[in-house]
Amino acid sequence: MADRTTGKEIREPLVRIEKKIGMPKKTAFLIRAVALVLALLVCGIFINAVSGISLGEAFKQMWEGTFGIVGNQKSIEIRCWNTAIFGAKLLCIAVALTPAFKMRFWNIGAEGQVLVGAMATAIIMHDFADALAGPLLYLVMLLVCVLAGAIWGFIPAFFKAKFGTNETLFTLMMNYVAMKIVDCFYNLWKGKKSALEALNMDTHKGYLPDIAGHGYTLNIIIFVALAIGMYFYLKKTKHGFEISMVGESQNTARYAGINVPKVIIRTMILSGAICGLCGGLTVAGQSHAISSDTTAGGYGFTAIIVAWLGQFNTLAMIGIAVLIQFLEQGTGQLGNAYPAFATGAGDVLIGLVLFFIIGCEFFINYKVILRGSHKKEGGAEA
C-alpha cells in the first residue's frame, strides 16, 4: 500500500482492529449466550480437574445451593428466599451506579454510600426508637438513610463539577471514611461485649413488617421496583437524556445548553440516595445490625460488574444479579458438599465466567482484520 502524499510504500500491519457498526441485537444476544455456555463448560472442566467432581454433579450442587433441592419444598423455599434477598440487594446497588456510570462518572463509592445510609438508620433505631411512634419512626428512618447516602454522593460530585477532581479516587477513599465511622459506632455500642447484637432485639422497633412471612420481602419489592423505575427514568425522561448527553461528550452537552455541573451533582445525589436507601433497608429489613464488614458485604464493588455486564440496562441487571448469586452461593454449596473443592476455587469460577462474558463484548464491538483480507474480499466482490 502506498501513501498518496509521499508515494512511499506503507507496510500494512499483520493484524488490525476495527470497531463494528450496527451489529443486530439478535446476533449480539447469541454471542453473549454462547459465551455464557462456554464459560459454564470451562468451569465444569476446572472443577473436575481440581477436585474430581463430575460436570453434572458440580452443577447439581450449585443449583441446590442457589435454588434448593428438587422435591424438597423447605430447601427450595429457604434457598430461593436467600438468593432473592441478596440478589435484590446487589441489583439495587447496581441500579444506583447506573446513572453515574452512564454519565461517565466513575462512582466507586457505593460501598461507603450504603454504609452511611445503614449507619443513619441504625442511629435512629438505637437512639430514637422509643421517642418516635410507629409510622413516624419508619418515615424518619427512610429520610435519614436517603439523605445520608445523597450527601455522600454529593461531596465527590461537587468537587468534580467545581474543581475537576478525580472522582474514582475520591469516591474510593470515601468508602474507608464510611467504614471507620461505622467501626466507631459499632465499638461504642457493643461496649465490652465480644460483638454487637441485633438492634432492638427485644422490642423489634424499626423492623420492617413481615410480608409472606419475611421482613425482607419489602426490600425485594422495593429493589425490583427501583430497577424498573430507573429503566424508564433513563430511557424516557429529560434527565435521562441529559445524563446520556453528558456521558457521550461534555462539550456537546454544553453546546446543547445543558448545565453539566448541575447534571453531575444531581445524578450523583440520586446515585448516593439509592445506595443509602439500600443500606437503610438492609438494617431495617434484613440484618437488624450494623457492621463495616457485613452490612455492605463488598456488594458495592460487585455491583460495578453487574452494571457493566447489564450494559446499563437495569432490567437486564435482574438476570445478571441472579447469575452472580448462582456463582457465589453455588460454589459455597459445592465447597460444603466436597471438602476437596477449596473455598478459594469458587472465586476462580466467578473470574472465569466474568472473563468469558466481558471478553465476548470485544467480539460484539470490534472485528479483527488480518493483513490482505480486504484484498480477498475485494476480489470476491469483483
Question: In angstroms, rounded to a whole number, what is the distance separating the alpha carbons of residues 22 and 27?
Answer: 11
Residue 377 has pLDDT above 60, yes or no: no
Residue 49 lies in a domain: no
**Per-residue pLDDT reduced to its tens digit, 48-60:** 888 788 888 888 9
Output the pTM of the full model.
0.88
Burial profile 88-102: b = 16 or more Cβ within 10 angstroms, e = fewer: bbbbbbbbbbbbbbb
Looking up residue 267, the CATH number of its domain turns out to be 1.10.3470
Q: What percent of the chain has pLDDT over 90?
A: 61
Give the count of alpha carbons within 13 A of 313, CB side only: 7
User: Is 121 inside a domain boundary?
Assistant: yes
Q: Which residues contact 1 (CB under 8 A, 6 or more apart)?
A: 9, 10, 11, 12
- Determine, yes or no, domain membership for 9: no
Range of the domain at 129: 81-323
Confidence of residue 220 (pLDDT cuts 50, 70, 90): very high
pLDDT at 161 over 50: yes
Count how many domains the chain has: 1
| C-alpha cell recorded at residue 328 | 457465589
The answer to the question of residue 333 being in a domain is no
Tell me if 1 is assigned to some domain. no
Confidence of residue 286 (pLDDT cuts 50, 70, 90): very high
Q: What's the confidence (pLDDT) of residue 2?
A: 52
Mean pLDDT of 317-327: 92
Look at residue 353 in the predicted model and tell me its pLDDT.
83
**For residue range 6-44, what is the model confidence (pLDDT) as tens digits?**
655 566 677 778 887 777 888 888 888 899 889 888 988
Whole-number pLDDT of residue 382: 41
Q: What is the pLDDT of residue 381?
A: 44
Question: What DSSP character marks residue 289?
Answer: S
CA distance 351 to 302: 12
pLDDT-derived band of residue 380, with 50, 70 and 90 as boundaries? very low
Residue 24 counted as domain residue: no
What pLDDT is stored for residue 33 in this prediction? 87
Q: What are phi and psi of 176, to 5 degrees?
A: -70, -30
Which pLDDT band, with edges at 50, 70 and 90, does 195 fall under?
Answer: confident
Asked whether residue 25 is domain-assigned, the answer is no
**What's the average model confidence in pLDDT over 52-69?**
89
Least confident of 50-59, 131-140, 251-260, 344-353: 344-353
What is the per-residue pLDDT for 148?
98
Specify if 52 maps to a domain: no
C-alpha cell at 117: 445510609
Distance CA 169, CA 179 (A): 16
C-alpha 348/C-alpha 212 separation (Å) is: 36
Tens-digit pLDDT profile for residues 227-278: 999 999 999 999 999 999 999 999 999 999 999 999 999 999 999 999 999 9
Cβ-contact 81, 148 below 8 angstroms? no
Closest CA to 355 of 38, 30, 29, 19: 38
Helix or strand or coil: residue 9? strand
Residue 224 confidence (pLDDT) above 80 = yes
